């Protein structure tokens, strides 16, 4: 029986993953946690156990894991790329010291650990097209540095201590439930809100910038499938390339125009986030994930656009 702790449960991924995990494993077997309560998440907080936990406090984390007999930690608490460039010290502290605490508790209490990595674990010297699973990883952002170091640390805990660590390199994630917390791929979420509200969007990412992306239902499937995968089949662990699509701002605008023909796209490029995007791959090769645990995403760009616009329309009361 799984007893799961989700850190960062009120974030973009956590707010949807927690609900899905509670549906599969039972509400009382999934403890949601966050550094603080956030408005707008009352339904989630009341749908099962919720604890205030700061993962940079190892003692607090350990007590929580013992209190709830946790055997699986899904560590989603993290600072994203753009915010990480603004506050590199905090990014290191939460993403690295936090992860270290999670791994230490997992070692002592015999827990499995899932930690997401990112396309940010690659850098300007990585082959940008069809980026292989095993390749050069020399990122130039603090977020990317913490993601590569995190991958290595998770593999180390598996090899050295036998902690069952697993992870994926997520691309930009698109969802309607909770906004992302300050990443470079966020434009691909904001564009849908503005398309519905104003029929126009000003992109901070330049025309022609290709990045991998994924719709949230596929991201949730990736986490759950990898968590449940037969360990004897896993050649890799931290972390698997996964992707569902790759597009630039013009391509997502084209997809939106299939549903909102008058939609207009303008540009006001942010040099910081553009430089980050330019340092990341254009498209990932996710064949290792497909071969080792059956990764097979369901949504392409138009399928995602259709669902996003339908769901957001209801959410925004339009
Ligand atoms: N979506 C993330 C970001 O932009 C990538 O992991 O920071």
Residues in a beta bridge with 32: 6, 50
Question: What pLDDT does residue 205 have?
Answer: 98
Average pLDDT over residues 94-120: 98
Instruction: Write the pLDDT tens digit of every residue in 258-282.
Output: 999 999 999 999 999 999 999 999 9
Distance CA 98, CA 57 (A): 8
Tell me the helices (H) and strands (E) count for the chain, helix number first.
13, 14
Does the domain at residues 173-213+245-283+299-316 carry the CATH identifier 3.30.2310? no
Tell me the per-residue pLDDT of 143-154, one tens digit each, with 9 for 90 and over. 999 999 999 999
Numbered ranges of CATH 3.90.25 in the chain: 173-213+245-283+299-316
Choose one of 13, 141, 180, 189 to mutate for the ligand 1 pocket test, by most ligand atoms within 8 angstroms of C-beta: 180
Summarised one tens digit per residue, pLDDT across range 158-215 is 999 999 999 999 999 999 999 998 999 999 999 999 999 999 999 999 999 999 999 9
For residue 116, is pLDDT > 90? yes
What single-letter DSSP state applies at residue 51? E
- Confidence bin at 3 (pLDDT 50/70/90): very high
Q: What average pLDDT does this structure show over 34-38?
A: 89
The distance of Cα 313 from the centroid of its chain, to the nearest Å, equals 24
3-state secondary structure of 106: helix
Question: Is 150's C-beta closer than 6 angstroms to any atom of ligand 1?
Answer: no
Which ligand 1 atom lies nearest to the CA of residue 143?
Answer: 7
What is the three-class DSSP state of 173? strand
Ligand 1 atom, smallest distance to 184 CA: 4
For a pocket test of ligand 1, which of 13, 87, 120 has the largest count of ligand atoms closer than 8 A to its C-beta?
Answer: 120
Q: Where do you find CATH 3.40.50.720 in the chain? A: 4-171+214-241
Q: Is the pLDDT of residue 102 over 90?
A: yes
- Nearest protein CA to atom 1 of ligand 1, as residue: 172
What length is written for the chain?
A: 318
Q: Specify whether domain 4-171+214-241 bears CATH 3.30.200.20.
A: no
Please give the average per-residue pLDDT across 116-130, as a whole number: 98
Residues marked active site are found at 143
Give the tens place of pLDDT for each residue, 51-91: 999 999 999 999 999 999 999 999 999 999 999 999 999 99
Secondary structure in 3-state letters for 109-138: HCCEEECCEEHHHCCCCCCCCCECCCCCCC
- Confidence band for 38, pLDDT divided at 50, 70 and 90: confident
% pLDDT > 90, the chain: 97
Spatial contact of 275 and 195, defined as CB atoms under 8 Å apart: no
Which pLDDT score, from 0 to 100, does residue 39 have? 83
C-alpha–C-alpha distance, residues 130 and 316, integer Å:
37
Mean pLDDT of all residues in the chain? 97
pLDDT at 37: 86
Peptide bond into 261 cis (omega under 30): no
pLDDT-derived band at 40, boundaries 50, 70, 90: confident
Regarding the beta carbon of 281 and ligand 1, being less than 6 Å apart is answered: no
Ligand 1 atom closest to 180 (CA):
1
List the structure tokens of 160: 């050295």
The residue that leads in pLDDT, 230 or 39, is: 230
- Give φ, ψ of 240 to 5 degrees: -80, 135
């Amino acid at each position: 029986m799984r007893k799961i702790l989700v850190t960062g449960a009120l974030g973009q991924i956590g707010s949807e993953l927690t609900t899905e995990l509670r549906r599969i494993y039972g509400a009382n077997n999934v403890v949601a946690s966050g550094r603080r309560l956030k408005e707008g998440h009352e339904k989630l907080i009341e749908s099962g156990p919720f604890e205030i936990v700061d993962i940079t406090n190892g003692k607090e984390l350990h007590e929580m894991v013992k209190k709830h007999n946790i055997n699986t930690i899904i560590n989603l608490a993290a600072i994203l790329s753009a915010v990480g460039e603004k506050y590199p010290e905090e990014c290191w502290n939460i993403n690295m010291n936090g992860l270290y605490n999670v791994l230490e508790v997992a070692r002592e209490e015999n827990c499995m650990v899932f930690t997401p990595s990112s396309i940010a674990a690659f850098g300007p010297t990585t082959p940008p097209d069809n980026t292989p699973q095993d390749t050069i990883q020399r990122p130039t952002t603090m977020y990317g540095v913490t993601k590569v170091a995190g991958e290595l640390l998770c593999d180390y805990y598996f090899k050295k201590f036998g902690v069952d660590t697993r992870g994926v390199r997520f691309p930009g994630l698109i969802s309607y439930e909770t906004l992302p917390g300050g990443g470079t791929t966020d434009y691909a979420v904001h564009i849908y809100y503005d398309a519905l509200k104003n029929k126009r969007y000003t992109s901070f990412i330049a025309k022609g910038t290709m990045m991998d992306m994924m719709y949230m239902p596929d991201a949730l499937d990736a986490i759950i499938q990898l968590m449940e995968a037969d360990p004897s089949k896993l050649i890799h662990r931290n972390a698997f390339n996964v992707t569902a699509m790759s597009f630039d701002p013009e391509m997502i605008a084209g997809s939106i125009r299939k549903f909102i023909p008058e939609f207009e796209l303008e540009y006001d490029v942010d040099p910081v986030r553009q430089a980050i995007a330019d340092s990341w791959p254009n498209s990932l090769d996710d064949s290792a994930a497909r071969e080792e645990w059956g990764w097979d995403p369901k949504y392409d760009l138009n399928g995602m656009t259709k669902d996003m616009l339908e769901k957001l329309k209801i959410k925004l009361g339009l």
